[in-house]
Amino acid sequence: MTQRFSASPSPRPGTPTHRAGTPGTTALEIVVGCKVFVEVKKEKKDEAREFRKAEILSVRTHNDKPEYYVHFVEFNKRLDEWVGLERIDLAKEIERPAKKRNGKGGNQFRDSDTSSRVGSPLREVTGRSGVGTTVGQKRKISALEDIPTPNAKATTPSTPLVEATGEDYEDGGTPGNGTPLGPLAATFSKEQEIERLRTSGSMTQSHSEISRVKNLERIHFGEYDVDTWYFSPYPQEYSDAAVVYICEFCLFHYISERQLRRHLQKCTVRHPPGNEIYRCDDISFFEIDGNKQKTYCRNLCLLSKLFLDHKTLYYDVDPFLFYIMCQQDEFGCHMIGYFSKEKESTEGYNLACILTLPQHQRKGFGRLLIAFSYELSKKEGKVGSPEKPLSDLGLLSYRSYWTEVIVELLLEMKELNEDITIEDISARTSIATTDILQTLQSLCAIKPYKGQQILCLSDGVIASYHKTKEKHKNRRIDESFLKWTPPHFTSNQLRYI
């Protein structure tokens, strides 16, 4: 069995402790908090070896060998991983953890990412990216591993939209599903959690050191095995197995494939609980009330935490609505991604968390989710903005969506020879004026002209708009398929006690 250490492991016979150069490092010197140079996983066999500076977050022995959980400095936390000594450049001198003034050791549990904490000032979108980068630095987007995805079998269903039964899913017998679990459950009381949710919008996150180390390697979800990115508070026993088996329809989770198989024999669910409010071709959206479908929504939050680091909510799901995007085939509605939305947002947020499951990323689904969130805002007659801070991928996706929508409208206005103001753009798109301004600034589209400011699009911006539009032409939200009236909640329903 794997033994875990939070400090340096004892030397074992056969453990390499060589000094490969000057000044050199030994395995014994590599402890939590120090920085070493670690070889980056090659994407192609013939690629040259590349080493990056990385901080040691944890140490364990695995098969009698030391292993180090490393965070690559200035890179997103999703690239954190366990590495063996063979990937560490022992020839380079290590940076030791700074001694605290009280002499009590290093900085092993200092948060090195830029995750904001609940209650901290919200961050602006512009100039700042999400996790793993700091202000003013060039944002580095990881090369995400390409996860092979089989072609989805597309059908256009002719059945009426699905209506919610109003019942929450019941567990087939696994104690873990739907209950506050894992180390975080012990860290946060429900009262504290609700207070945080009330005072800060919607999100909570752990800043305990335990969450710095990823606890699961993989999820098994439908026909996919997906590598996880971040810590999520699944039950402790799941961490030993390192894989969690999830029913893709009801989101119940299991510790073994056998347990999941047994569940699948009984599980008759084929779509998320809730009303199907949109269906166009093979894409459907289901609206789920966190107050009514607590188990499903909590399991969804546990799942999404594996890929969303900087913010997420765990078990107080009452104040939120969840919009699940599915792709239909003859077997059912397969979840592609989702976003959550506060039932009432005092800050004017129209989206709290957004996720495309990794196996479906970079195919335009994130854009569809974002577009859908704005369609809802249009129906509500409101302007909205995503909750901050945005992650690096969130910022990229929003920037891309805002750019396309704004440039499209400006070109339309030019064609009609009509003037348009920032406020007009906001009223027509439901995009907040601050987001419009920041997008226009990023496009260098605001120019001084005869004492005032005008909007002007460069040829490059127009060319790239046409290219992106072409790319997205097959996947768009058609608002005529949205069957939805904005839900209204009484103040009593919004008390969440």
**Residues at the contact surface with ligand ACO, assessed by CB under 6 A:** 141, 144, 307-308, 351, 353-356, 361-367, 386-387, 390-391, 393-394, 396-397, 400, 468
Residue nearest ligand ACO (C-beta atom): 366
Enumerate residues 6+ apart whose C-beta is below 8 A from 137.
74
From residue 79, give the alpha-carbon distance in Å to each of 213, 318, 337: 11, 32, 21
Which SS3 state, helix, strand or coil, does residue 1 take?
A: coil
Nearer to ligand ACO, 333 or 393 (CB): 393
Q: Spot the catalytic one: 248, 342, 387, 404.
A: 387
CA contacts within 13 A on the Cβ side of 81: 16
Q: Which is nearer to Zn ion, 238 or 249 (CB)?
A: 249
Contact 194, 316 (CB under 8 A): yes
Look at residue 267 and give the partner it binds from Zn ion, ligand ACO, none, a contact being a CB closer than 5 to 8 Å depending on partner kind.
Zn ion
Residue 379 or 476 having the CB closest to ligand ACO:
476
Provide the CA 249 distance to its chain's centre, in angstroms. Answer: 20
How far apart CA 345 and CA 329 sit, in angstroms, is: 35
Q: What does 365 interact with, of ligand ACO, Zn ion, none (CB < 5 to 8 A by kind)?
A: ligand ACO
424 to each of 280, 427, 446, 477, how far by Cα in Å? 29, 5, 16, 22
Nearest approach, Cβ of residue 381 and ligand ACO (Å): 22
Closest approach, Cβ 77 to ligand ACO, in A, equals 11
- Alpha-helical regions (H) of 188-273: 190-200, 236-241, 257-266
CB of residue 266 to Zn ion, shortest distance in Å: 8
The nearer residue to ligand ACO, 201 or 233, going by C-beta atoms, is 201
Which parts of this chain interact with Zn ion (CB under 5 A)?
A: 247, 249-250, 267
Closer residue to Zn ion in complex, CB, 177/200: 177
> Which CB, 72 or 254, lies closer to Zn ion?
254
- As given in the structure block, the two tokens for residue 279 are 């269906």
Cα 345-350-356 angle, rounded to 5 deg: 130
Beta-bridge mates of residue 246: 221, 253
CB of 312 to ligand ACO, least distance (A): 8
Q: How far is the CB of 172 from ligand ACO (least distance, A)?
A: 28
What does 250 interact with, of ligand ACO, Zn ion, none (CB < 5 to 8 A by kind)? Zn ion
- Is 217 noted as a catalytic residue in this protein? no
Looking at the chain, the number of H-run helices and the number of E-run strands are: 10, 18
Report what 394 binds from Zn ion, ligand ACO, none; CB cut-off 5-8 Å by kind: ligand ACO
Q: CB of residue 225 vs Zn ion: minimum separation in angstroms?
A: 18
Rounded CA separation 386/370 (Å): 9
Nearest in space to 433 (alpha carbons), one of 340, 348, 375, 371: 348
- Known catalytic residues are 387
